[in-house]
Chains A and B, each alone.
Chain A
Amino acid sequence: QVQLQESGPGLVKPSETLSLSCTVSGASISTSYWSWIRQTPGRGLEWIGYISDGGTTNYNPSLKSRVTISVDMSTNHVSLKLTSVSAADTAVYFCARNFDYGASVWHDAFDVWGRGTLVTVSS
């Protein structure tokens, strides 16, 4: 059974860098695509980006200049870094696995999610 667990600071100061980690258990991160998604009451769900099983990344154009998603194969972690944060980046952040079936990966289908972690941007 694949499980994901997000971790990281719950409070980040404006203009600083938000750093989150997603621990993947029950599966190797080298065999799937992994995404980060955030949710706010006002803006709903927002896709941040993904990293493929081959290490290719793809980011939401609106966040692309500030986002980096990476993996650590040795620890089976997926990481998210978001620079120059502001109050607008306050959200619950989820890591999720992209659904795959056969040889296909769905960019908009996420079949395993972490519980999410609330990050508040405030001084």
Chain B
Amino acid sequence: QSVLTQPPSVSAAPGQRVTISCSGSNSVMRNDISWYQQVPGTAPKLLIYDTYKRPSGIPDRFSGSKSGTSATLAITGLQTGDEADYFCATWDPNVQSVFFGGGTNLAVL
């Protein structure tokens, strides 16, 4: 069983808003969450760190949040270029290790 659980796939139409969830145990979700976008054949790209902060250059269409045992990545104004796999990640200080979610494939239909 994965430390972080994501839905295998989500889909939405261009221009719409989509959310991707990342759930874990109470202890794991006490830590901050990062989110990545990965287009097949390329390296992951950091979208969100510290649960809700965006690195420089990431548009505000991407936002992160967390409530209880679940973190969420929201993408508004969907574009076909947003089609990719999305991963969440966290550092668990109790285990001293980084864990990644299994990834969610986003289809923009």
Contact of B100 among A47, A96, A106, A114 (CB under 8 A): A47
Does B97 count as interface, using CB distance less than 8 angstroms? yes
Flag B66-103 by CB within 8 Å of A: 1 or 0 each: 00000000000000000000010111000111111111
Is A108 within 8 A of B89, CB to CB? yes
Is A113 within 8 A of B43, CB to CB? yes
Contact of B91 among A44, A107, A114 (CB under 8 A): A107
Is A44 within 8 A of B102, CB to CB? yes
CB distance from B12 to the nearest CB of A (A): 23
Is A110 within 8 A of B100, CB to CB? no
Is B49 within 8 A of A45, CB to CB? no
Contacts of A45 in B (CB 8 A): 44, 87, 89, 100, 103
| A61 in contact with B95 given A45-B103, A99-B49 (CB within 8 Å) | yes
Is A106 within 8 A of B50, CB to CB? yes
Does B59 count as interface, using CB distance less than 8 angstroms? no
Is A108 within 8 A of B91, CB to CB? yes
Interface size in chain A (residues, C-beta < 8 A): 21
Contact residues, A99-115 vs B (CB, 8 A): 99, 106-111, 113-115
Does A15 count as interface, using CB distance less than 8 angstroms? no
Flag A55-76 by CB within 8 Å of B: 1 or 0 each: 0001011000000000000000
A69 to B97: give the CA distance in the assembly, Å: 15
Interface size class of B (residues with CB under 8 A): 20 to 34
Is A111 within 8 A of B103, CB to CB? no
Flag A87-123 by CB within 8 Å of B: 1 or 0 each: 0000000101001000000111111011110000000
Contacts of B31 in A (CB 8 A): 108
A75 to B33: give the CA distance in the assembly, Å: 33
Q: Which residue of B lies closest to A50 (CB)?
A: B98
Is A58 within 8 A of B96, CB to CB? yes
Does A46 count as interface, using CB distance less than 8 angstroms? yes
Is B96 within 8 A of A61, CB to CB? yes
CB distance from A59 to the nearest CB of B (A): 8
Contacts of B87 in A (CB 8 A): 44-45
CB distance from B64 to the nearest CB of A (A): 11
A107 to B98: give the CA distance in the assembly, Å: 7
Contact residues, B45-67 vs A (CB, 8 A): 45-46, 49-50, 55
